[in-house]
Amino acid sequence: MQFLKKLGNFLISRKFIVNVLLVCVAWVIIIWSSISYFNSYTSHGEAIEVPNLISNNASDIENLLAGKELKYEVLDSIYDPNLVEGTVIYQNPMATDSTGLKVKSGRTIKVRVSKRSRLVDIPIVISKSQRFAEAVLMTKGLRTKTNFVPSNEDQGSVIEQKYKGKSVTKGKKVPINSVIQLTVGKKTTGEMALVPNLFGLTIKEAEERLKNSQSLRLFTVCNNCENAQDSISARVIRQTPVAADSSRVPEGSTITIFASTDFED
């Protein structure tokens, strides 16, 4: 009984009532502040319509979103040769006029755009037949341009392949629909070609000399060429067959040159 009497006196005391009131005020302030913060943080009550970006160009997105407090992000580009480069082909969230849904300010619209080119590997088709080489390159989305040269060893086969005038190396990537230049050997007519004298020429000069003839092929050996600069400065010290007076070989024959960076006149 004594305990209950003391408890009753405490509950009706001024000190207890004041503390209860202070706790209630504190909770009201906390709850009110939390509601205000979350309403502000989540933009409660806002509803912004999402415009339709699909079929528009990526360069126009900023104008389409002007004044809407919305952002955008380009996720990636997808190859589509039938569309103008940069055309929006996907967006998330979708446009309000198709879904009826609206978003809050600051929302990021993610888009994917089209591109008209993509890189593909060039298959190495040297020593393959012309028909096979063209078919393989076509499956990669590449086109071919064929140049025929007389050849006794590689009739109907690819002797060389180039892209924009440069020899193709393994792992080379080019835009789809690019043109690969193929050099294919053809049966010789039995005519004889004059053997040019390539002694003392640089490798590039020798290549140009035989390039103009179109009837002979060049094979280069340079044992001490360690880098590109060596290949530029190296000169021919020997060749086979040799260029004796009026010496001739059948069209399509190969002239082998031996070059060195230690050339002396």
42 located within any domain: no
Claim to verify: residue 242 and residue 222 sit in the same structural domain? yes
Query: Do residues 127 and 158 share a domain?
Result: yes
Residue 211 lies in a domain: yes
What is the rounded (10 degree) CA torsion for 77, 81, 85, 90? -50
HSE on the CB side for 42, CA within 13 Å? 8
pLDDT number for residue 52:
92
Find residue 155's DSSP bridge partners.
185
pTM of the model: 0.47
pLDDT of res. 132? 93
* Lookup result for tokens 């509601």: 35
Q: Among the three residues 160, 186, 212, which one is the final residue of a domain in this structure?
A: 186
d(CA 97, CA 194): 78
Task: Look at residues 115, 138, 172 and tell me which one is the last residue of a structural domain.
Answer: 115
Tokens of 248: 């001739």
Confirm whether 230 is domain-assigned: yes
Burial of 246 (0-12, 13-18, 19+ CB in 10 A): exposed
Q: In the chain, where do the E strands start and end?
A: 48-49, 71-79, 88-92, 102-103, 108-115, 119-121, 143-150, 158-163, 166-167, 173-175, 179-186, 192-194, 217-221, 235-240, 248-250, 254-260
Domain CATH for 59: 3.30.10.20
Residue 124: its pLDDT value, please? Answer: 93
pLDDT at 60: 92
* 1, part of any domain: no
Task: Note whether 258 and 239 are within 8 A (CB).
Answer: yes
Rounded Cα distance, 5 and 81, in Å:
91
| Residue that finishes a domain, picked among 115, 135, 168 | 115
Handedness of CA 158, 243, 222, 208 (dihedral sign): negative
Parallel, antiparallel or unpaired: strands 173-175 and 119-121: antiparallel
Can you give the pLDDT of all 265 residues of the chain as single tens digits?
665 556 566 556 677 677 777 777 777 777 766 666 555 555 555 688 899 999 999 999 999 988 888 999 999 888 888 888 899 999 999 988 888 888 888 899 999 999 888 888 999 999 899 899 999 999 988 999 988 877 766 778 898 899 998 889 888 989 888 999 998 888 776 678 888 889 999 988 988 888 776 678 888 888 888 888 888 888 999 898 888 777 888 777 888 899 998 877 6
Task: Assess whether the previous peptide bond of 93 is cis (omega < 30° from 0).
Answer: yes
Give me the pLDDT at residue 192, please. 82
Tell me if 56 is assigned to some domain: yes
The residues, ordered by sequence, that sit 6+ positions from 86 with a Cβ below 8 Å of its Cβ are 57, 58, 59, 113, 114, 115
**In a shared domain, residues 155 and 197:** no
pLDDT of residue 34: 65
pLDDT reported for residue 66: 87
**Pairing relationship of beta strands 108-115 and 71-79 according to DSSP bridges:** parallel
Cis amide bond preceding 175, omega within 30: no
Give the pLDDT confidence score for residue 7 in this predicted structure.
54
Count: domains in the chain: 3
Residue 5 lies in a domain: no
Domain that holds residue 249: 193-260
179-186 and 143-150 strand pairing: parallel
Residues 54, 101, single domain; the answer is: yes
